[in-house]
Amino acid sequence: MPTGIIESLDHDARGITRLEGKTIFVEGALPGEQVEYTCFQTRPSYEIARVVRLLKASPDRVQPKCPHFGVCGGCSMQHLDPSAQVAAKQRVLESNFWHLARLIPEQLYAPIYGAFSGYRFRARLSVHVTANKGDVLIGFHQRQSAQVADMQQCLNLPSPVSALLTPLHRLIAKLSIARKIPQIEVAVGEYVTVLLLRLLAPLSQADEVLLRAFADSHGIAFYLQSKGPTSARRFYPLDGPQLSYRLPDFAIEHFFSPTEFTQVNPELNRVLVRRALTLLDPQRGERIADMFCGLGNFTLPIARSGAVVIGVEGSRELVRRASKNAAANGVAAQVSYSVANLFEATPESLAALGHVDKMLIDPPREGAVNLVRAIGANGPWRIVYVSCNPATLARDAAILVTQKGYRLLGAGVINMFPNTSHVESIALFEKRSTLITLQGLPRTR
What dihedral do alpha carbons 243, 248, 249, 250 form, nearest 10°?
60
Told to check if 314 binds ligand SAM by CB under 6 A, we report: yes
Minimal distance, residue 350 CB to ligand SAM, in Å: 13
Alpha carbon separation from 31 to 57, 61, 81, 93, 237 (Å, rounded)? 9, 10, 12, 16, 50
Q: Of these residues, 72, 75, 154, 388, which one is catalytic?
A: 388
Q: Which DSSP helix (H) or strand (E) runs through 234? A: strand 233-236
Distances in whole angstroms, Cα of residue 358 to Cα of each of 379, 382, 429: 8, 5, 10
Cα separation, 127 vs 168, whole angstroms: 10
x/- contact string, 88-127, with ligand SAM (CB under 6 A)? Answer: ----------------------------------------
33 contacts ligand SAM (rule: CB under 6 A): no
Other CB atoms within 10 Å distance of the CB of residue 285 = 10
Q: What's the CA gap between 319 and 247, in Å, rounded?
A: 19
Q: Give the residue, chosen from 60, 357, 362, 396, that forms a contact with ligand SAM under the rule CB under 6 A.
A: 362
**Shortest gap between Cβ of 313 and ligand SAM (angstroms)?**
5
From 94-102, 138-146, 257-265, 302-310, give the range in contact with ligand SAM by CB under 6 A: 257-265
Q: Name the residue nearer to ligand SAM (CB basis): 282 or 363.
A: 363
Interface characters, 206-245, with ligand SAM (x: CB under 6 A) = ----------------------------------------
Min dist CB 296 to ligand SAM, Å, is: 8
* Residues 269-308 close enough to bind ligand SAM by CB under 6 A: 292-294, 297-298
| Neighbouring-strand partners of residue 24 | 17, 47
**Least distance CB 298 / ligand SAM (angstroms):** 6
Q: Which of residues 367-426 bind ligand SAM (CB under 6 A)?
A: 388
Q: Measure the CA–CA gap between 41 and 145, rounded to whole angstroms.
A: 14
Q: How far is the CB of 297 from ligand SAM (least distance, A)?
A: 3
322 binds ligand SAM, rule: CB under 6 A: no
CA dihedral over 113, 426, 296, 345, signed as positive or negative = negative
Q: Of 161-169, 274-282, 337-345, 418-426, which segment contacts ligand SAM by CB under 6 A?
A: 337-345
Residue 436 neighbours by CB under 8 Å, 6+ apart: 442
Nearer to ligand SAM, 24 or 393 (CB): 393
Q: Count other Cβ atoms within 10 Å, centred on residue 99.
A: 11
Smallest gap from residue 341 Cβ to ligand SAM (A) = 5
CB nearer ligand SAM, residue 175 or residue 186: 186
The least CB distance from residue 294 to ligand SAM, in Å, is 3
How many of the other CB atoms lie within 10 Å of CB of 279?
22
Q: Residues 183, 343, 349, 395: which binds ligand SAM (CB under 6 A)? A: 343
- Residues near ligand SAM (CB under 6 A), total: 19
Spacing of C-alpha 248 from chain mean position: 21
Distances in Å between the Cα of 360 and the Cα atoms of 130, 324, 334, 396, 444 are 46, 21, 16, 14, 21
The helix or strand, by DSSP H or E, that contains position 395, with its residue range, turns out to be helix 390-402
Nearer to ligand SAM, 198 or 422 (CB): 422
Quote the strand ranges of 59-217, DSSP E.
107-108, 122-129, 136-139, 183-188, 193-198
With binding defined as CB under 6 A, does residue 46 bind ligand SAM?
no
Q: Which is nearer to ligand SAM, 96 or 387 (CB)?
A: 387
Q: Of these, 162, 263, 325, 334, which contacts ligand SAM (CB under 6 A)?
A: 263
Q: CB 314 → ligand SAM: shortest distance, Å?
A: 3
What CA–CA distance (Å, rounded) separates 311 from 313?
A: 7
Instruction: Identify whether 388 is a catalytic site residue.
Output: yes
List residues near ligand SAM by CB under 6 A. Answer: 261-263, 292-294, 297-298, 313-315, 318, 341-343, 362-364, 388
Catalytic positions are 388
